[in-house]
Structure formats: structure tokens, C-alpha cells
């Protein structure tokens, strides 16, 4: 008789951490992980051809009203928004909304360090919670994610937080560290959620302007420079609408000559992430 074994990976914590090694990555969120053989499925539960016994597929028991209980009948949470959150000095942490159409660009020097996914009901980190990342840079290669630590944890009861230390590539100041990169981040297996969720976005340092202005247009041009120059000398972005948080490129809580200078220099470099797709062709 053949042996029939099912390997189950168990996450023993509610906060999950994983160090990325490059390419499409998965974070199954495990600070303390163990592989084990599920004793519920062993050789005694297998037929001679190795298939499972029919008892493994017994019908769900009826509920108190005598009706069968289905997973489809159980309520669950749906993701309603994604935000890229960064600290802005004394102003505090400010988020830029990632629309579902993939038009968002992250223009801030802080880059993508924290993605906050909000649901319409309570959720939790589960054994099955997985974050998958695809990327493609302007050279047609996946971004180098080696050395980046990704954490997945629960913020508010209706929030899942995905954080990166250091930031995802594309927002550095040194030459060659701010080439635009396109990303797709997918969050699956969240406890209490009835559907998986994902977002695509592009990191383009200095892309503060576009149509609409709160998403950018995946390139840095004279229009970006003119826009931030016309609004500089703002001591605090706190009273401004969220779309203007983009202009605080150095994330120090104000819009200053430093922001103008950075955008001007990158406009001169003609940074352009338009047309990038993930995964790389």
C-alpha cells in the first residue's frame, strides 16, 4: 500500500516576517514555522492507488435549521482601499491612496515602506496569508529585492499592513537607485476575507503631477517641476488635501526648495516609467 501524506505549514504567530531574495516573492508570514505531517491523513486513509478515502469528502453537517452550511453563506470582509503610508516629519504618517486601475505612482523619497489594506469588516493574519510581489524595472528586469525584510501584520481590526525594510527599490537619491520600477503586490489568504486583493503601482521619484494629480503619470517632466515650484514655501502640508502630500518629496512635513530642486533634477534626467508592465515580458 502506498503512503499518503499531507504536509501542512503552520504559522505560530499573528505577525509575520520574511526576508526577500529577489524575483517574484511570497511571504507566508512566519516568524516561527514548522512543517509537520497531518496525522489526519495517513496510510490508513489511502486506497491502494494512493487516492484519499471518500470519508475525507463528507458533506458539511446541517445547521440548527436542518439546512446545509456552505462557505458561500458565511459573511466575510472585502478590501475597500490600499494606501502607501510614509512619515512626514512632525505632521506624522500620511497615506496616498492606490486606485485599483494601477495608475498610482509613489513619488516620495521615502518610497514604498508600508502598504495599508483596509477592509469593510474585521480581518486577521492567518496560516494561509501570503504576499506575492512581481516587479519590472526600466531595463526589463525584475527589481533586486535581496536584503529587503517584509512584515505582514494586523493594524486596526479592519486593516492588514505590509511593510518593507528598507523601501522597495526605485526611490533612492544616488544615480542608478531611482530608476522607475513597476510592482504588483497581491495579498491572499487573509483570515475573515472572502476575496484576495492586489494593486499595481510604479515608483517614480519626483512624479508629483499628472491627471489626476493625486496619482501622477509615471514620469518626471517640466510640468512636475513647475507644479511644485508654484506651491513651495508651504510650512506644513497638514491643512492641505491628501493629493498635495505628493509634493513633500523629502517627507519632512513641508514643501520647500529642497523638494523643488529634487524634482527639477529628475526632470532633467527624464525619468519615465510609462509602459512598464509586470511581470516583465
pLDDT tens across 243-276, in order?
789 999 999 999 999 999 999 999 999 999 999 9
Task: Report the alpha-carbon distance of residue 129 to residue 119 in Å, rounded.
Answer: 15
DSSP-based three-state secondary structure for 217 = coil
β-pairing, 149-154 vs 93-97, is unpaired
Question: Pick the residue with more confidence: 47 or 79?
Answer: 79
Angle between helices 257-268 and 222-231 (to 10 degrees): 170
- Residue 281 counted as domain residue: no
Residues above pLDDT 90, as percent of the chain:
66
- Residue 265 counted as domain residue: no
- Residue 108 counted as domain residue: yes
pLDDT in tens, 22-52: 544 444 443 333 333 333 433 333 333 444 3
Total domains, the chain: 1
- Residue 262 counted as domain residue: no
- Band of pLDDT at residue 175, cut at 50, 70 and 90: confident
For residue 44, the Cα-to-chain-centroid distance in whole angstroms is: 43
What is the CB-side half-sphere exposure of residue 192 using CA atoms within 13 A?
15
In 91-196, which ranges are continuous DSSP H helix?
Answer: none
- Residue 247 counted as domain residue: no
Domain containing residue 111: CATH number = 2.60.40
Q: Which residues contact 136 (CB under 8 A, 6 or more apart)?
A: 142, 143, 181, 182, 276, 277, 278, 279, 280
Q: Which of 27-31, 92-96, 114-118, 185-189 has the lowest mean pLDDT?
A: 27-31
- Residue 166 counted as domain residue: yes
Give the DSSP H/E element, type plus range, for residue 267: helix 257-268
Q: What is the pTM of this model?
A: 0.76
- Residue 196 counted as domain residue: yes
Question: Pick the residue with more confidence: 261 or 70?
Answer: 261
101 grid coordinates:
486601475
Alpha carbon of 228 to those of 133, 210, 222, 274: distances in Å? 32, 12, 10, 21
pLDDT in tens, 108-158: 999 999 999 999 999 999 999 999 999 999 999 999 999 999 999 999 999
Q: By residue range, what is the domain housing residue 102? A: 79-207
**Across the chain, what does the average pLDDT equal?**
80
β-pairing, 197-203 vs 105-106, is parallel
- Residue 119 counted as domain residue: yes
Amino acid at each position: 500500500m502506498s503512503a499518503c501524506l499531507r504536509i501542512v505549514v503552520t504559522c505560530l504567530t499573528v505577525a509575520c516576517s520574511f526576508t526577500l531574495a529577489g524575483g517574484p516573492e511570497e511571504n507566508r508570514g512566519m516568524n516561527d514555522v514548522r512543517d509537520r505531517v497531518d496525522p489526519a491523513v495517513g496510510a490508513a486513509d489511502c486506497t491502494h492507488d494512493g487516492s484519499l478515502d471518500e470519508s475525507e469528502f463528507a458533506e458539511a453537517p446541517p445547521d440548527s435549521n436542518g439546512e446545509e452550511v456552505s462557505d458561500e453563506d458565511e459573511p466575510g470582509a472585502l478590501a475597500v482601499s490600499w494606501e502607501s503610508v510614509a512619515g512626514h516629519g512632525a505632521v506624522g504618517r500620511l497615506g496616498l491612496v492606490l486606485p485599483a486601475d494601477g495608475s498610482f505612482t509613489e513619488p516620495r523619497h521615502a518610497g514604498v515602506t508600508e502598504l495599508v489594506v483596509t477592509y469593510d469588516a474585521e480581518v486577521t493574519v492567518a496560516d494561509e496569508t501570503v504576499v506575492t510581489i512581481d516587479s519590472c524595472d526600466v531595463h526589463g528586469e525584475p527589481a533586486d529585492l535581496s536584503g529587503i525584510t517584509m512584515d505582514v501584520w494586523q493594524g486596526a481590526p479592519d486593516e492588514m499592513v505590509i511593510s518593507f525594510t528598507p523601501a522597495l527599490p526605485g526611490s533612492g537619491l544616488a544615480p542608478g537607485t531611482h530608476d522607475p520600477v513597476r510592482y504588483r503586490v497581491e495579498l491572499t489568504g487573509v483570515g475573515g476575507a472572502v476575496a484576495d486583493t492586489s494593486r499595481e503601482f510604479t515608483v517614480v521619484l519626483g512624479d508629483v503631477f499628472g491627471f489626476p494629480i493625486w496619482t501622477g503619470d509615471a514620469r518626471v517632466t517640466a510640468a512636475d517641476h513647475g507644479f511644485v515650484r508654484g506651491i513651495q514655501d508651504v510650512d506644513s502640508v497638514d491643512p492641505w488635501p491628501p493629493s498635495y502630500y505628493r509634493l513633500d518629496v523629502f517627507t519632512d512635513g513641508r514643501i520647500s526648495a529642497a523638494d523643488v530642486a529634487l524634482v527639477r533634477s529628475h526632470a532633467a534626467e527624464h525619468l519615465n516609467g510609462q509602459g512598464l508592465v509586470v511581470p516583465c515580458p
